[in-house]
Amino acid sequence: MIELRDYQKQAIKSLYGKVEKALMTLENKVVIFQAPTGSGKTLMVSETLKKLVRDRKNDKIFSFVWVSVRMLHEQSKEKLEKYYEDDRLIQCSYFEDLEDRKIGENEILFINWHSINKKDINIFVRENEQDNNLNSVIRNTKDEGRDIILIIDESHHTAKSEKSRELIEVISPKVTLEVSATPHLAENVFEIERIPLSSVKDEEMIKSEISVNPEFSKKKIGDKSADELVIESALLKRKWLQLKLKEENANINPLVLIQLPDKREGMDDKKISVINILEEKFDITEKNERLAIWLSEQHSDALANIEKDDNKVEVLIFKQAIALGWDCPRASILVIFRESKSFTFTIQTIGRIMRMPELKYYNESELNKGFVFTNLSNIEITEDYAKDYITIYEGKRDDKLYSDVSIPSIYLKRQRERTRLSGKFVNIFFEVAEEYGLDDKIDVKSSRIINPVMSDGRITDVDKAGEIEHKGIIDIELNEKELSDRFDRFIAQACSPYAPVDSGDRMKTAIYLYIKQKFKIDKYDPKAQVIVLGKENYQTFINVINLAKERFRTDVIETLGETREVQQVEKWEVPQLISYNSRYEKTEKDKSIMKPFYAAQLSEPEQSFIELIENSDKVKWWFRNGQGEIKYFAVPYKDKDGFERAFYIDFIVMMKDERIGLFDTKSGFTAELAKERAEALVRYIKEQNKKREKKLWGGIVTFKDGSCRYNDSESYGGAISESQAPYWKVLSFK
């Protein structure tokens, strides 16, 4: 039996609801299911169809048509037959398997999109003597009183072509379900169900990131060609990954994928060149079965079992055709050659190396990455998923400036996270709201909620990207329906990282009950929604919600009977290399040990602290620490309930006199909540100073009245106040 992950359960429930909603309308509707590559799209759709058949609301009965590109319809049919083999609730068929020239009840007809779109072989649609064509099959099926649901797999390849529109008109399905990682959204879409990439990564289904040409600056080029350098680097990485997998007791032979350019860009010449390099330099050939080739004109015998984890093939040469639908989780390295000046790098391309072979992360973080090696000088990323996924920046440790830290750290191996807010969140929200003084900060007479609308827009070139020319903006006040919709969107966003489908009601209940208790405004009253969404109150509610989610995570999620494996790092050092995605921005910081310095978003205290240490002539270098990975520094502590946690402080500061500063920046309310972490940091410093020559110092840092203060008291009393002021020392780094 297949065990569904939490995000899959939530997506199935939500997608089912949206398809049911579409079925209740009078018109034919389009529902989009957008899910990242590797998330299990086929499984989730199959479970949604099963739920539709099992529940049969309003006595509806269904027939299904499943259309896929290339040969994916065969893969999809095989997968669904496996999913349905236990209960036989749904039958899977090809066109020739249909009985009585119709799609039966709870039967799926699988069709290859490309075969039915060819100009001269449109056998399924055209009229023929036997009246055995798609038109008649659809007509016969509808005559039986069944609603047809059309599933278009990888819809971004198909659904918008002229012939595709004609086919959809022939089928005229009650609901069209378009499934894709990167759908081409149209204006007439009825509902959209999206799965965030982060949800799939949190469940360890796919790689944590993709690294492009790592450590190339340190390569010794010599007389190697660019192709030789790329292939050699890929194979060295493959060998290293293989060794590390053995250390993890994983019987997996990593596979290198080499993608050739198409024929018009010299595929034949490149193929010969690559094969020669593999044979002459590395003894990798088809003959010794370390190499397999998958091209339209050439298929190696070794392809038969290449997807198996322990298969002996080390390198697969292929062309673009393999990049869609092929599933081989042991593939972890992609080599790309292009002769043209530019190359579009999409999520479909890197999708082949995104899957985790055992659907879990390993202790060695490099095993949780995919790798791309390429001879390109520049890569353009065109899909939103890829922008936040692929490594496009690198910060390197300045080893000329660096001096060893060698301090012990811990890493708590992450367990499966719960993904929904429970009823306890309501009480936690009230507690945090009271501590924060929410009612005193709310303006009940908040501004009206308006929608800015473009006035007199003008498009002169439909193919030109950029803003539409317009003469002005008009403000339109939202009606109750629009206000309710905006409030629902606010709730959905506020629930993150918890699934809105299962958490939204808890979030709404907490907010509505609080407003009713404090301001006597009834639940669901539009006035309550205006109070929350008003510009005077919006950020205040966001602050309280975020603090409540943090406490919910600490007090509820992390205490649900899950223990975390503690991994000791005896001598922690600043990482030599850190990879960043496009959300990070480069900033010049002279004393940052990472060159260049990248940050996604710095808080005001962090910015102020960096300015302070940058301007100090006593500071040799500093490091802004990260979160949640073994390569970052963490201090062990126990929360108020006695559970072991890891405290990832913000900054490590190396002084010129060799003292090492450990600091964590806080402000206002967050400083009040830092007791357990603050005291653990002080204890850690005290214990280490008994054992080592390089002395440690530091504590919680905050800013008040233009002055930087830090607290290194063994009994932390909270943020700066009149009673706590003596415990907060001035921090000047002078």
Round the average pLDDT of the chain to a whole number and report it. Answer: 81
Contact 112, 70 (CB under 8 A): yes
Q: Identify the weakest region by mean pLDDT among 87-101, 130-144, 441-455, 702-716.
A: 441-455
- CATH fold of the domain at 209-391: Rossmann fold (3.40.50)
- CATH fold of the domain at 6-198: Rossmann fold (3.40.50)
Predicted local distance difference test score (pLDDT) of residue 212: 75
Q: For residues 494-508, give the mean pLDDT.
A: 84
Predicted local distance difference test score (pLDDT) of residue 455: 36
Q: Which residue has the higher pLDDT, 405 or 493?
A: 405
Predicted local distance difference test score (pLDDT) of residue 187: 58
Element (H, E) at 15: helix 6-23
> Which amino acid is located at 264 in the chain?
R
Q: Identify the weakest region by mean pLDDT among 304-313, 334-343, 454-463, 663-672.
A: 454-463
Whether 343 shows a pLDDT value over 80: the answer reads: no
For residue 579, the Cα-to-chain-centroid distance in whole angstroms is 16
Long-range interactions of 581-588: CB distance < 8 A, separation 24+: 581/209, 581/387, 581/388, 581/389, 581/390, 581/391, 581/392, 581/393, 582/381, 582/387, 582/388, 582/392, 582/393, 583/388, 584/393, 586/393
Q: Which residue has the higher pLDDT, 487 or 86?
A: 487
Q: Which residue has the higher pLDDT, 382 or 182?
A: 182
Whether 232 shows a pLDDT value over 50: the answer reads: yes
Quote the percentage of the chain above a pLDDT of 90. 34
Quote the percentage of the chain above a pLDDT of 70. 79
Whether 341 shows a pLDDT value over 50: the answer reads: no
Give the range with max mean pLDDT: 9-18, 287-296, 346-355.
9-18
Predicted local distance difference test score (pLDDT) of residue 224: 62
Q: Which residue has the higher pLDDT, 555 or 210?
A: 555
Contact 193, 12 (CB under 8 A): no
Letter string b/e over residues 246-276, b meaning 16 or more CB atoms within 10 A of that residue's CB: eeeebebbbbbbbbbbeeeeebeebbebbbe
CA distances from 323 to 213, 678, 711 (A): 20, 50, 55
Please give the order of strands across the beta sheet that includes 651-655: 619-624, 651-655, 660-665, 696-704, 707-711, 729-730
Q: Where are any strands of DSSP class E within 4-69?
A: 29-34, 62-68
SS3 434: helix
> Which amino acid is located at 229 in the chain?
L
Predicted local distance difference test score (pLDDT) of residue 63: 93
Predicted local distance difference test score (pLDDT) of residue 130: 55
Q: How open is the CA angle 35-41-42, to the nearest 5 degrees?
A: 160
Q: Which residue has the higher pLDDT, 506 or 183?
A: 506
In 37-71, which ranges are continuous DSSP H helix? 41-55
pLDDT (tens digit, 9 = 90+) per residue, 242-275? 999 999 999 999 999 998 876 544 445 678 889 9
Q: For residues 677-685, give the mean pLDDT.
A: 93
Q: Identify the weakest region by mean pLDDT among 25-29, 260-264, 405-409, 702-706.
A: 260-264
Query: Could you give the residue range(s) of every CATH 3.40.50.300 domain in the chain?
Result: 6-198
Whether 569 shows a pLDDT value over 80: the answer reads: yes
Q: For residues 640-649, give the mean pLDDT.
A: 84
SS3 680: helix
Sort strands 635-638 and 644-647 into parallel, antiparallel or unpaired.
antiparallel
Predicted local distance difference test score (pLDDT) of residue 340: 41
Question: Is the domain covering 575-730 a CATH 3.90.380 domain?
Answer: no
**Rounded to an integer, what distance in angstroms lies between the CA atom of residue 323 and that of residue 315?**
15
Q: How open is the CA angle 53-58-64, to the nearest 5 degrees?
A: 35
Sort strands 344-345 and 331-336 into parallel, antiparallel or unpaired.
unpaired
